Structure 1
């Protein structure tokens, strides 16, 4: 059911605040860039009022409601409008991920990576591509690291970790069995365990020293939008930026890039 039909179906249940929220949403031009707090301030209601409104029109969350509203506005679009729509999806997912991120946690994780003897990045499928991307960045900073995307190799290499090492896994669902097995091995070895996921599934997150929650693309109510990597890459950019504030890592990155320019 599209957004306006939901409003019509449940209008009889609306309070005065609900009517204010509905009217504002129908006229809000920059909903993709708005957090629930921004929206609440603009309407002069509390964030909890917006959360109740979303539940009332049968959305699971504010993010799901926002994506549905974006989709409704793009139903009849030209090619140019399609480009704008995808850009809106990107901005919304990035904005959602930004709300999850804790600068102090980013600082701790950066320190863990800098101090580690070795770093092992793990992931399967699309998450494996993210692991390989971050490993490529980290290697150029002079950090001893490896990315593993094969299920058997993942378990073997995690078994050889020590307490001075860091294990960072990327799992979109938080339920990939080979990632779970490798994470258990890393934990048993005493390594620092960092989990990047869209799902707080306890079986994985209970093993972690740090859990970084990122936005899930499934709340974009558009089956043609299949990019599962935006939020992970955004987080990696944030963490990379923080790492390169370290003078030694920046110097080593420049050194490796210079070597690639000369001999690559």
Structure 2
């Protein structure tokens, strides 16, 4: 059901604040860039009023409502206008991931990676592609690291970690069994455990020293948009940027790039 029809169906339940929120959302042109706090200030209602409104029109969260509203505005676009549609999804996912980010946490994780004896990156499927991408970046900075995307190898490698090591896993759902098994072993070995996920799944996140939440693409509410990686890549871009503020890592990256130019 599209956004306007939801409003019509549930309008009989609306309070005065609900009507203010609905009217504002129908005319809001830049919803992708707005947080729930931003909208609450503009409409002169509380964030909790917006949360109640979302649930009243049968959305699980503000983010899901926002993505549905974006989809409703783009579903009639065709051909070259699809570029603008996908771009709006990217902008919304990046803005949502930004809300999860914590500068202090990014600093801690950067320091963990800088001072690690070894770093093990783990992930299965699309999450494995993210693990490989970040490992490629880290290797070029001179940090001793490995990316594992095979379930058996993941369990074996995590069993050999020590307290001076860092284990970073990427799990879209937070429920992939091989990742859970490897994470338990990394924790038992005393390694520093960092989890990057879209889902605060307790079984996995309870094992972590640091949990990084990134936006989930499913709230875009468009089955044609299947990019599960953009939010994680955005976070890793931010973390990479922070790491390269370290002069030693930047120098080592430049050395490896120069070597690749000469011999690669």
1:84 CA drift (Å): 0.8
Please identify runs of 4+ aligned residues in structure 1 that moved more than 3 A: none
How many Å separate the matches in 1 of 2:139 and 2:75?
Answer: 44
Residue 100 of structure 1 corresponds to 100
How many Å separate the matches in 2 of 1:134 and 1:258?
Answer: 20
How many Å separate the matches in 1 of 2:19 and 2:79?
Answer: 34
How many Å separate the matches in 2 of 1:86 and 1:35?
Answer: 20
1:214 aligns with 2:219: no
Residue 143 of structure 1 corresponds to 143
| Unmatched 5+ stretches in structure 1 | none
How many Å separate the matches in 2 of 1:70 and 1:81?
Answer: 14
Residue 198 of structure 1 corresponds to 198
How many Å separate the matches in 2 of 1:198 and 1:218?
Answer: 10
1:36 CA drift (Å): 1.0
Offset from partner CA, 1:2-26 (integer Å, 9 cap, x none) = 1001101111111111111100111
1:81 CA drift (Å): 2.2
- Normalising by structure 1, we get a TM-score of 0.99
Residue 119 of structure 2 corresponds to 119
User: What secondary structure does 1:239 align onto?
Assistant: helix
| Unmatched 5+ stretches in structure 2 | none
User: What secondary structure does 2:224 align onto?
Assistant: coil
How many Å separate the matches in 2 of 1:247 and 1:64?
Answer: 41
Task: Map residues 227-238 of structure 1 onto 2, 5 A cutoff.
Answer: 227-238=227-238
How many Å separate the matches in 2 of 1:125 and 1:254?
Answer: 31
Residue 86 of structure 2 corresponds to 86
How many Å separate the matches in 2 of 1:14 and 1:137?
Answer: 51
Question: Which range moves more in the overlay, 24-33 or 115-124?
Answer: 24-33
Residue 262 of structure 1 corresponds to 262
How many Å separate the matches in 2 of 1:17 and 1:57?
Answer: 14
1:63 aligns with 2:63: yes
1:44 CA drift (Å): 1.6
1:219 CA drift (Å): 0.7
Residue 72 of structure 2 corresponds to 72
How many Å separate the matches in 2 of 1:199 and 1:78?
Answer: 33
How many Å separate the matches in 1 of 2:68 and 2:61?
Answer: 11
How many Å separate the matches in 1 of 2:116 and 2:182?
Answer: 18
Offset from partner CA, 1:212-251 (integer Å, 9 cap, x none) = 0111111111111100001000000010011001110011
How many Å separate the matches in 1 of 2:239 and 2:82?
Answer: 31
1:48 CA drift (Å): 1.1
Residue 174 of structure 1 corresponds to 174
How many Å separate the matches in 2 of 1:82 and 1:114?
Answer: 41
1:32 CA drift (Å): 1.2
Residue 164 of structure 1 corresponds to 164
1:25 aligns with 2:25: yes
User: What secondary structure does 1:79 align onto?
Assistant: coil
